[in-house]
Structure 1
Amino acid sequence: MNTEKKREQFEAWALARFINSDTMKPLQRSADKPDEYHYPVLNTAWAAWQASREALVIELPKIQFIQSSEEFQQSCLKIRYCDIAAIEAAGLKVRP
């Protein structure tokens, strides 16, 4: 998941929790540093949000094939790749 998608998710969460009393625009970015928020607590929350996403890595169990058809084994591999794609699309990591 790219940074902008992560930021969209963060901002949706943060919008319900933070209010910048100076401007009533809780997600206003800094004029000097557009990657940072005007409201300091949001910068801390954004850093924590990113760290939480980086720290979470899912380890899938090894695939153990029983004696069966090659078609069945290929189906198992396809399901695994689909699982990995879905987990990564949610912004999480899968341990190789």
Structure 2
Amino acid sequence: MSNDKIHEEFEAWAIARFINSATMKPLQRSADEPDGYHYPVLNTAWEAWKASREALVIELPQQSGANLDWNQAIRYCHQAIEDAGVKVSQ
């Protein structure tokens, strides 16, 4: 999953929970750290969000040389899981 997609999901969650009282901007990105946020609490939440995504890994069954439908289903599942932002072990 791209970092943009992860940011998008995080911001959808965070928009209702955080606001920088100094600027009144809810999700102000850091000028010094493009992957982070200006507001320290939000930046900490972002780091925790990324770590939670890194920790979650799905293991799919092995493909079978004799069953093309099974193999296709495994490939579809692999893609759908990654599109959801979760890692798949190889």
Shorter-chain TM range is 0.7 to 0.9
Once the two structures are superposed, the pairs formed by residues 19-34 of structure 1 within 5 Å of their partners are 19-34=19-34
Look up the match of 1:57.
57
Task: Select the structure of larger CA radius of gyration.
Answer: 1
Q: Distance in 2 between matches of 1:58 and 1:33?
A: 30
Show CA shifts across 1:30-54 (max 9, x none).
3333332121001111110001001
Name the structure 1 match of 2:89: 95
TM-score by length of 2: 0.87
Q: TM-score, normalised by structure 1?
A: 0.82
Q: Percent identity?
A: 62
Find the counterpart in structure 1 of residue 79 from structure 2: 85
How many angstroms does 1:27 deviate by? 0.6
Matched pairs, number? 90
Alignment RMSD (CA, Å): 1.9
The one-letter code sitting in structure 2 at the alignment partner of 1:6 is: I
Where does residue 48 of structure 1 map in the other structure?
A: 48
In structure 1, runs of 5+ residues without a counterpart are none
